[in-house]
Structure 1
């Protein structure tokens, strides 16, 4: 699709049918050209949550769909497209965001693990749209620098690092301030305020709306602290996995029943009648609650915690592990309810203001998440629950309602997709490919294989560094630091990924084929030789903290929360 800028050289585009004065050609000629060869450029609302598992989005029809539905996010799938094979390049918050913004793998965009500084001078789809006449904004979680340095944003209000669930600190161009309330709701309010009162209505808009939820430590809104208190969620078949034949899985530190913080994560208290949390490595988060909020919180959890404390001594390890799973799921899914409500408010606003038809609305997560599979919470691994991410997209003017896309896509594909829909020329050296054709049903444009690389070791949860390849049936992974192990899975016969078939002679041919395909992908994406990564020690990761009071001395009090990399 051509833009007005292409049709009338030298013009700066303001909107789908408006151009600045001083261009060659008259306004009447511009209008005529638009009518003949161009269409109104779409608005874009890119909504991304943090750590939303595919299993926890009911449009995918999992075993949680009826117990914990997400009807508003499902509306996007019903109005447009549901992607059944959406994946990331690196299942970690910061690297995933960098890949999404640039359309490039981390070894090209320079952001491979949390705590690095994102280079905002490189090509970014948001900037390309801004240069083409879009008004742009970012509201919510950022997590790839303290501020959106290098991004061409007409408006931005972002959370400090991970953000807090209650009474968060907001960073703006004017400094830092604290606002009282529940963070998901505040992000929603700020988004609707910008759409309704602050955006330049003479231009198409590109809005980045990023939620903190449902990231750890899963603190629901006051209205949802009790929503699932009497619900028993199905336990994954692999919850008590023994990780046989999978050394990296056996050496991780992310099992719900062994490694989650009993206070910080599971809100377990010290005894009957007590409200003090047990182990809590980040006590400042709970300390942010006001006295009123704290009382409401204690009232919601006291009876359940008292029951646990009264019975803990009589429970077996397995019974306690199952109790912890239920507490984890109750809180995790309760934080998603607020995100779903937020999406509903945005969709309702678009409907009420006649913006739905020409607005692309995307909902996704920065990666997948384990909801007890293999005993895990968190992400990082190339196993399906972590590697795969939810993705739904509506654009009524172009995407047929009820579309199901089975083609494999990755988060590097968002940049070229948005740019093609906006009629903006794609910049060079992009690893991703536009999803426009597969959304139109052209399967010839689909990938045959995916490349993945996780770099962060040593680090939180101690997941070994690994890379791998996945096609429509098989997966090959190489865990290369600190060990040296290969894993291979036939996903059609072993969808739970519990039988490492790397030494099974039945698959020798497929393993050899995938090794070759992996080398081809490394060449295609210009991945540096492995010996350059093998000995890399992530010292930058260990010490990555940025003090707000140093960047904003006039608006941030000494001693408040510094940037904590997780």
Structure 2
């Protein structure tokens, strides 16, 4: 087979799968042997970050290569206007056969249905785990079975029917392991006989931190719905500490059981590529739309700019170009994905796309002048369920500066009640778990000034407008 053949692209994305629940990232709590196959045979990114840690905005950034203030999807209540440019449209126009299967979560009205795909079948909204509904090319259908297995089966079925003389883009998007965590029957008793280790920051008391951290309603001990999330009520007679431990075990085990189905799915897809003899010609990407708190800081969910939420898993296999067992600490962003795929396909990257191709990094060479800082913005403010303040900030190789501006600014899904602005600064070298806010520490005064300058430079670069910043 020709070595200059344009690669197939199999883009697999789960929902809320934190990298620290993958053994290739050194997980303390589970094993993911099939996901590890991708990392072992390709490249693993230690520093891949989302630009907005929430489902719809991250998905929109991945499709358009643009930050959310430009692609129009700032919150989970915004729909993607499908008339704008996306990388699947560009690949489709240049001869790729394209499919979108699984979770869409970018709307189903007006111009919000998937565009740029020859075939699509997507779950409505968050979707269902058991006997789920799908919109298949706009027609609502229900299928018997478990969502992860069905999405995998539909993906393989589409691959079987493809034109084998043309390259393909398949976006296989799993609903799992999104809340509420409902595992497949085959994994329902996985981990029953063990206790999952608690994270190092499980008992964080937020002592040095902002009110934004203290008031976020994502605490395992108080904010989970017992009957929906835990599917049980705590036993009587537990102390508050014992109850928190009990809740964590209920939560994390069901979460990891959902991940087990994801891992099985990956194995089935990789085996199919091997059987077809196209593994050498196929870029396989696995990622999640953002990270997730797995009891870290006592939380579940995401949204906040702390590491567990900000970091995305990102592993890639492409035997023709990527050396097996590669690993990089180069900083990658979700807005980089489209430019990378277009680069490999030989399709020009539109100027409106704001990310950069990762091709050189995939192939072992970080370009001179590659980014050493990234910009993040969470637009929703005091949403109904999680009470997270709106904020933006930057992460460099060593530091993280966060500004909670605490205003809705007309963002959909926000509550229009301002909160006093606050800053946080973390020295990730000295404080990798982000427990000690040093913003008011005079020792960091010069660093703070430099970081604010970099923050404003990045905002200008990505065409975002800062709000009035108050010390």
Q: TM-score, normalised by structure 2?
A: 0.94
SS at match of 1:248: helix
Q: Shift of residue 190 of structure 1?
A: 0.5
2:147 to 183, 194, 200: 183
1:115 aligns with 2:77: yes
Larger Rg: 1
- Name whichever of 437-446 and 168-177 sits farther off: 437-446
Alpha-carbon distance between aligned partners in 1 of 2:466 and 2:44, rounded to the nearest angstrom:
36
Q: Shift of residue 424 of structure 1?
A: 0.4
Specify which structure has the higher proportion of helix.
Answer: 1
Q: Shift of residue 428 of structure 1?
A: 1.4
Instruction: State the partner residue of 1:431.
Output: 354
Identify if the C-alpha distance between structure 1 residues 258 and 107 changes in structure 2 by more than 3 Å, giving closer, same or farther: same
1:145 aligns with 2:110: no
SS at match of 2:361: helix
1:409 aligns with 2:374: no
SS at match of 1:138: strand
Q: Shift of residue 485 of structure 1?
A: 0.2
Alpha-carbon distance between aligned partners in 2 of 1:425 and 1:527, rounded to the nearest angstrom:
25
Q: Is the 8 A contact 1:437 1:445 kept in 2?
A: no
Q: Is the 8 A contact 1:50 1:211 kept in 2?
A: yes
SS at match of 2:424: strand
Q: Is the 8 A contact 1:256 1:377 kept in 2?
A: yes
- Name whichever of 335-344 and 54-63 sits farther off: 54-63
1:453 aligns with 2:418: no
Q: Shift of residue 231 of structure 1?
A: 1.6
Instruction: State the partner residue of 1:292.
Output: none
Alpha-carbon distance between aligned partners in 2 of 1:519 and 1:441, rounded to the nearest angstrom:
31
2:394 to 461, 469, 472: 469
2:4 to 39, 45, 50: 39
Q: Shift of residue 483 of structure 1?
A: 2.6
2:171 to 194, 208, 214: 208
Q: Shift of residue 149 of structure 1?
A: 3.0
1:223 aligns with 2:148: no
Equivalences, count: 453
2:265 to 331, 342, 363: 342
Q: Shift of residue 150 of structure 1?
A: 5.8
Q: How does 1:296-335 map to 2 (within 5 A)?
A: 309=235, 312-313=236-237, 315-335=238-258
Q: Shift of residue 439 of structure 1?
A: 1.6
SS at match of 1:513: helix
Alpha-carbon distance between aligned partners in 2 of 1:236 and 1:170, rounded to the nearest angstrom:
36
Q: Shift of residue 174 of structure 1?
A: 5.1
Instruction: State the partner residue of 1:164.
Output: 128
Q: Is the 8 A contact 1:42 1:358 kept in 2?
A: yes
Q: Shift of residue 267 of structure 1?
A: 0.9
Alpha-carbon distance between aligned partners in 1 of 2:11 and 2:370, rounded to the nearest angstrom:
22
Instruction: State the partner residue of 2:413.
Output: none
Q: Shift of residue 445 of structure 1?
A: 5.1
Q: Is the 8 A contact 1:121 1:150 kept in 2?
A: no
1:366 aligns with 2:303: no
1:501 to 438, 461, 464: 438
2:463 to 526, 537, 541: 526
